[in-house]
Amino acid sequence: MLSLTNTAFFTKKFLIGLLILLVIIIAYLALSSTGKNIYNALFPNPNPPLVAFGKLPKLDISEGIKPQSNITYKVDTVSGQLDELARDLKVFTIKAGVAAFGDLTKANKIAGEKAFTIPPVNLENGKATYLDKKDPNRFLTIELTTGNIYLISDYLHSQRVIMSQPNSEVESLKIATGFLKNQEFSGADFPIDKISYIKYKVDNGKLVEALSLSGANLMQIIYNRADIDNIPVVYSSYNKPKVNMLVSTTEVESGKFVISNIEKYRFSTYPLKGVKKAYEDLKAGKAILNKIFDGSEFPIRNVSLAYLDTDLTTTFLQPVYVFGSDDNLAAYVPAISNDYLISK
C-alpha cells in the first residue's frame, strides 16, 4: 500500500509531467500552421493593428507596367528563401487639392517667371497650358488646385540636344532645381542624398540609357522622397518618377513635378498579407513592374516593403512588397491584407 508520502511524490511528478506536456503542445500549435490562430488567441499581439480608417480601397496599380504572362519568378536570395517581414504597417492619408480663388493668378505668375507666355494658350479641366516665348514646341502645364507641373518639348528631334553633351551631375542639378525654385519643394521631403541620376542619349528618336557622360545628350534628375518611418517611398515607373527633370546643357527639356500631400500625422496601422501570399500574387500576375522587362526568367534577389506613391488620385498612401531583381528592376505587389480592403 502506498504511503501518504509516496502518493504526494507521484502526484507531484505527474503534475510536472503534465505541465511539460502542455508546454510542448502549445509550442507545437504555435509553430504549426493550424495552430497559429490558437496561439494568437492565447498570446495576442500587444499592439494590434488599429484599422481606424475601416476597409481601404484597393491600391490602384493600373499605371504600372503589367508583367508578361510567360515570366517565371525564381527566388535567388542569399538565404535561398523569402524571409518574412513586418506583420502590419502604417497607412497614411493623402490630402486632396482644393480649388481656391487666385489659383489661375498664381499659375500665371509661375509661368511668367519661367519665361512662358501669359495668358495660357489653353485652359480646361483645371489645367492651364503655357507656351515658351522662344520655343513653339515647348509647353508648360500647371494643375490649378495642386500646383503640379508638366513640361514637354520636342527634344527628341532637336539638333541642339542631339549634338550636345550634358553637364556634370552637380551642374545639371543646379539647372533642374532652378527651374523648380517657385514650387513648394521641401528639402525635408526630398533630401539631396535621395537624388539620383540617369544619363541618356537620343537614338533614332528614342531615349536610351548612356554608359558615360561623354556618350550622353541629357541628364535626368530624379527627386526621390525621404523614407517614412524607415520605409522607402517608390514610384510606379523607374524612368518616369513623380518629380524629375530631364536636363540638357543649358535648360530643362522635359519633366514633371507631381507631389502627393501626405499627411504624416494622420495614419493607422493595418495587417499585411505576408510575403508568402504576396509571392503567390506575383506569380498570378497581380503585380506591376517598375520598368519594361523582356526576359522570361525574373530572378528575385531580395524582398522588402515600401510605400507606393502613384500619379493617380488616391486618398491613402499604401505599402507594397518590393521583389527586387537586377538593374533596378522590381515588381510591386499590394501589401494590405485582402480582409481589410473594399471588395469590388
158, part of any domain: yes
Question: Is 77 found in the same domain as 25?
Answer: no
Percentage, residues of the chain above pLDDT 90: 72
DSSP state of 147: -
pLDDT at position 138 is 96
Question: Is 256 found in the same domain as 273?
Answer: no
Q: Of the residues 263, 278, 302, which one is the last residue of a structural domain?
A: 263
As a whole number, mean pLDDT of residues 166-184 equals 90
Question: Is 11 found in the same domain as 131?
Answer: no
Report the first-to-last Cα separation within the chain, whole angstroms: 74
60, part of any domain: no
Q: Which of 35-39, 222-226, 256-260 has the lowest mean pLDDT?
A: 35-39
Question: Is 256 found in the same domain as 108?
Answer: yes
- 297 three-state secondary structure: strand
* Contact in structure between 244 and 223 (CB atoms under 8 Å): yes
In what order do the strands lie in the sheet containing 330-334? Answer: 233-234, 302-308, 319-324, 330-334, 288-289
47, part of any domain: no
Q: Of the residues 263, 292, 309, which one is the last residue of a structural domain?
A: 263
Domain count, the chain: 3
pLDDT at position 307 is 97
pLDDT at 46 over 60: no
Question: Is 149 found in the same domain as 132?
Answer: yes
Stronger pLDDT, 11 or 201, i.e. the higher one: 201
52, part of any domain: no
User: How sure is the predictor about 29, in pLDDT bands with cuts at 50, 70 and 90?
Assistant: low
8, part of any domain: yes
Question: Is 307 found in the same domain as 166?
Answer: no
pLDDT digits (tens, 9 = 90+) for 207-222: 999 999 999 999 999 9
250, part of any domain: yes
Query: Grid coordinates standing for 8?
Result: 504526494
Question: Is 202 found in the same domain as 114?
Answer: yes
Question: Is 168 found in the same domain as 137?
Answer: yes
pTM of the model: 0.81
User: How sure is the predictor about 200, in pLDDT bands with cuts at 50, 70 and 90?
Assistant: very high
Question: Is 132 found in the same domain as 168?
Answer: yes
Q: In which domain, by residue range, is 309 found? A: 72-95+264-340
pLDDT at 2 over 50: no
pLDDT digits (tens, 9 = 90+) for 229-253: 999 999 998 888 899 999 999 999 9
Query: Grid coordinates standing for 309?
Result: 506613391
pLDDT at 7 over 70: no
pLDDT at position 5 is 57
- 76 three-state secondary structure: coil
Dihedrals φ, ψ of 303, to 5°? Answer: -135, 140
pLDDT at 92 over 70: yes
Stronger pLDDT, 32 or 93, i.e. the higher one: 93
Q: Of the residues 263, 292, 319, which one is the last residue of a structural domain?
A: 263
164, part of any domain: yes
Question: Is 173 found in the same domain as 289?
Answer: no
Question: Is 278 found in the same domain as 229?
Answer: no
56, part of any domain: no
User: How sure is the predictor about 8, in pLDDT bands with cuts at 50, 70 and 90?
Assistant: low
pLDDT at 35 over 70: no
pLDDT at 159 over 80: yes
As a whole number, mean pLDDT of residues 178-201 equals 88
pLDDT at position 39 is 46
User: How sure is the predictor about 1, in pLDDT bands with cuts at 50, 70 and 90?
Assistant: very low
Q: Mean pLDDT over all residues of the chain?
A: 88
Dihedrals φ, ψ of 57, to 5°? Answer: -65, 150
pLDDT at position 33 is 44
- What's the CATH code of the domain at 272? 2.40.128
Question: Is 243 found in the same domain as 288?
Answer: no
Write the DSSP assignment of 79-140 as a string of letters.
SSS-----SEEEEEEEEPP---TTHHHHHHHHHHHTTB-SS-SEEETTEEEEEBSS-TT-EE
